[in-house]
Structure 1
Amino acid sequence: MKKIIPLLFCLVALSCQQKTIETTSTMNYQFLVGSYTDGPEEGISLLTFFPDQNSLSLQTIAEGIQNPSFVIEVGNQVFSVEEIEGIVGGNVLSFEWDDNRQSLQQLSTIPTNGNHPCHLSYHDGFLVVSNYSGGNFSIIEVQEDGILALRQIVQHSGNSVNSDRQESAHVHSANFSPDGKFLFVADLGTDKIYSYQFDPEKPEPASLFEEFPMNPGDGPRHLTFSPDGNEAFVVQELTAVLEVFSYNEGKIISKQRLPLTPEGFEGSVGAAEVRVSPDGKHVYASNRGDANTISVFANNADGSYSLVEHVPSGGIMPRNFNLSPDGDFLLVAHQASEDIVVFKRDQTTGKLTPTDLSIEAPKPVYLFSLSN
C-alpha cells in the first residue's frame, strides 16, 4: 500500500500538468474593454473569452486611468482617451504591452484641447480624437517610441433642432476612409457628417472637403465602412436609424434608412454602435433607451439591406458591442447593468442566439477586438 500512494500521487500530478498545458493552448478571443471609472483601482481591462470552455475572464491591465471610454490597439501599442473635462480638455494616452501581454506600461499622455474625448481612430502614424463636449477633433502624431504630439485642432460650430442634445456642435466620431485619404467626422450636434481631405505631409493634415447634412434631429454618432469600401453605415443616435450610404472618393450618398425599432414601438431610444460582419453580409446596430436591442440587417443580392431581427441585448444600455474576428460570436457591453454578455452568431443568416455566458464588468462602454 505504501508503494501505491506515491504512484497515485504521480498520476494525479501528471494529470494536473496535462490539464494546464491543454488550458493554456485552448483557442480564445481577447478584447480591450473601455469603461467609466469610479476609483483608482479601475481602468483599462482585458476580456478573454474561451469558447471551448464556455468561460470569460476579466482583468485590469492599466489602473488609475480616468474614464478610458475608448481604447484601441495598433501593433504593440495601445491608445486610450480619458473622457474628462478641464482647462485643456481631456487626455489621450499611449501604452505598450509588457512581454507577456498581461499589463500596459504608459508611454505618453497629451491633452486633447476639447472636453470629453469619446472616440479614437488611427491611420499611418496619426490618431484622431473626437471631443464631444468640445465640439472639435484633434489630430495627434504618434512617434515610433509612442510619444504623442499635437498637429491640428479643428473646431465645429452650429446646432440643430433638438434643443436638449443639439444646442452646439458635438463631435462624436471620426473615421478614415478605407484608403486613408479622407476623414469622415460625425457631429451629433450639427446634424452633419463632414468629409476632410487628409494629407499627412501638411503641417495641418485635415482640410474640409464637403459637408453632408443628415435629417434634422438625427444626431449622427458612429460610422463604419463595408469591407469592400463602397458603402458607409451611420448610426443616427437620436432617431434610432441605421442609414446606408454609397461611398466614392470622399463623398457619400444616402441609399436607405432602416429603423432600429419595430413598428409601433413607444419609448426612449439611443442608437449607439454599428458593426459589419467580416464577410460583409450582415450589419449590426445597438439601441439603448427603453429598447435595449441589437438589430440585424442582411445585405441582399440587389445591394439593398433588410431587417433580419431585433434581439434583446441581454442587459441595460448596450452602448457598445463587437464581433469575434471569425464572426462566430457577438459580445455586448452594457453600461447600466455593468456586464458583458455573449451571443452565438449564425454566419449564414446573421441571427444571434443568446448564451448563458456573461461576466460582471464596471460600466463597460467599448470593446476592441484583439488579433491573437
Structure 2
Amino acid sequence: MKLKLTYITITFLFTLNVLSQNTYVFLGSYNRDKTAEAIQVYQLDTVNGKLSKITSVKDIVNPSYLTISPNGKYVYACTDTKTPNAGSISSFEFNPQNKSLTFLNSQRSGGENPVYVTVHKSGKWIANANYTEGSVSVFPILENGKIDSIAQNFQYIDGSTHKERQTRSHVHSAVFSPQFDYLFLPDLGADKIRCYAFDENKKQPLIETQNPFTKTDLEAGPRHFTFHPNQKWGYCIEEMAGQISVYNYENGVLSKIQRIATHPDKIKEGFESSDIHISPDGKFLYAANRGKENNIAIFSIDENGILKNIGYQSTLGKHPRIFALDESGKFLVASNVLSGNIIVFKRDSKTGLLKKTGKEIKMENVSCVQIRKI
C-alpha cells in the first residue's frame, strides 16, 4: 500500500509540474536608448497563439541577441551591439512566478559588436560571437547566474574575396554540436565555419582541432548554423549567397552533401538570408530571407538529410532577422526589425506550412526572439 501511494504521489507531482509550465517568448531589440524597453517577455497561449506581455527591462542598450539557460532561470544577451568601441554580454534572472526579469551583471564581450550568445548544456559556460572584429569569447557562469570574467578569446584577421564585406573575419554565430563537445563558428567574412573542441571541465575549454575550419563557397557569407535532431546533419545558412549548405556531421567534421537556394530562382539579388531552424520532429527546415522577399522559406528534409523547397511564407513585415519555433513545434514566431512587428504563425505538422494566428504585437527595432517552456 505504501509503495502504491508513493507511486501515485510521484505521478501526481510530475503531472502537476507539467501542467504548471508555461511557454514564454523573449524579445530583444536595437533600442538605442536606455529609457526604452530593451527586452520584453510575453506568455504564449499554446492554444490560440496569443501573446500576453508579462514584463520588460530598460537601462541597457541594444540587446541584439538573447539565449536562455538550460534551467530557464537566466537570460543572457549580447548588449552594446552596434556601439562603437563597445560590446558586452549581460545576464538577467527570470522569475515567472513574480513576472520579473532582473539585471544581474555584464562583462565586456572581448570584441566589438557581439551578435550571438549560446549556453552550454551544463549551464556553466557561455560563448559569444563578435562580428566587427571577428572573434569568439568564452565565459564561466557562476552559480547565481552571473557571468564570470572572460576565460578565452580568439580573434581572426583573415577575410575572403568580396571587396566590401569580406576584408576581414566577421564571426556571426557560435553553435554547440549535438553532444556539446565542439563549438562551431560560421565566419561571414572569411567564408569559413570554424571549429574548436570543447571540454567543459577545463578552465580554458576551447581546444584547437586537426580540422580547425570547413571552407564554404567563396562569397557565401556563412551566418547561422543548426543541427538536425538525429545529430547526423548540419545546416548552414549563407547570408551573402542566399544559400543553405547541408553537411554530414561526425565527431567535429562537416562534409558537404548539398547546396540549395533559400529564395526563388527569379530573385538574383537584393536578399540577405538570416536565420535557420528545424522543426522538433526533424521533418522540416525553415530559413529566413530579408530584403526584397521578407519571408520564411520552407523545406522538407529527406531521409538522407537532403532539402526540397516546398514553399514560402511572408513574415508580414520588413527585415526578419531572427525567428524561433516553440518546443512543441506548433508555433513559429518571427521578428521583423524594420517594421517593428512580431508575428505568430501556427505550423501544420503534416505539411510544414505556416499560417498567421493570434494578434501581432509591436516592438520598435525588434532584433531577436527566443521561446522557452518553463
Work out which of the residue numbers 47, 51, 58 in structure 2 matches 1:56.
51
Unaligned runs of 5+ in 2: 1-18
Aligned position for 2:237:
235
Q: Which amino acid aligns with 1:129?
A: N
Q: Which amino acid aligns with 2:68?
A: E
Aligned position for 1:3:
none
Does the CA contact (< 8 Å) of 1:43 and 1:60 recur in 2? Answer: no
Post-superposition offset of 1:101: 4.4
Identity of aligned residues (%): 30
Post-superposition offset of 1:161: 1.5
Aligned position for 2:192:
192
Separation in structure 2 between the aligned mates of residue 356 and residue 47 of structure 1, nearest angstrom: 13
1:209-249 deviations in Å (ceiling 9; x for gaps): 22111000000000111111111110000011111111000
Which stretch of the first structure deviates more once superposed, 255-264 or 203-212? 203-212
Aligned position for 1:15:
none
Aligned position for 2:25:
31
Q: Which amino acid aligns with 2:66?
A: V
Measured at CA, do residues 302 and 233 of structure 1 come closer, stay the same or move farther in structure 2, by a change above 3 Å? closer
Query: What CA RMSD, in Å, does the superposition of the two structures yield over aligned residues?
Result: 1.9
Post-superposition offset of 1:60: 4.7
1:107 aligns with 2:104: yes
Q: Which amino acid aligns with 1:47?
A: Y
Aligned position for 2:3:
none
Post-superposition offset of 1:27: 8.9
Larger radius of gyration: 1
Does the CA contact (< 8 Å) of 1:194 and 1:208 recur in 2? Answer: no
| Total equivalences in the alignment | 347
Q: Which amino acid aligns with 2:59?
A: G
Does the CA contact (< 8 Å) of 1:26 and 1:50 recur in 2? Answer: no
Post-superposition offset of 1:28: 5.9
Does the CA contact (< 8 Å) of 2:298 and 2:352 recur in 1? Answer: yes
Post-superposition offset of 1:142: 0.3
Matches within 5 A, 1:1-372: 29-39=23-33, 40-52=35-47, 55-58=50-53, 60-74=55-69, 75=71, 76-82=73-79, 83-85=81-83, 87=85, 89-98=86-95, 100-123=97-120, 124=122, 125-149=124-148, 150-209=150-209, 210=211, 211-355=213-357, 357-372=359-374
Q: Which amino acid aligns with 1:37?
A: N
Separation in structure 2 between the aligned mates of residue 223 and residue 152 of structure 1, nearest angstrom: 22
SS at match of 1:96: strand
1:126-181 deviations in Å (ceiling 9; x for gaps): 10011001210110000102232210001112111112211111010011111111
SS at match of 2:174: strand
1:250-308 deviations in Å (ceiling 9; x for gaps): 00011111101112224401110000000000000000011111011111234422111
Separation in structure 1 between the aligned mates of residue 51 and residue 180 of structure 2, nearest angstrom: 35
Post-superposition offset of 1:338: 0.4
SS at match of 1:172: coil
Does the CA contact (< 8 Å) of 2:48 and 2:357 recur in 1? Answer: no
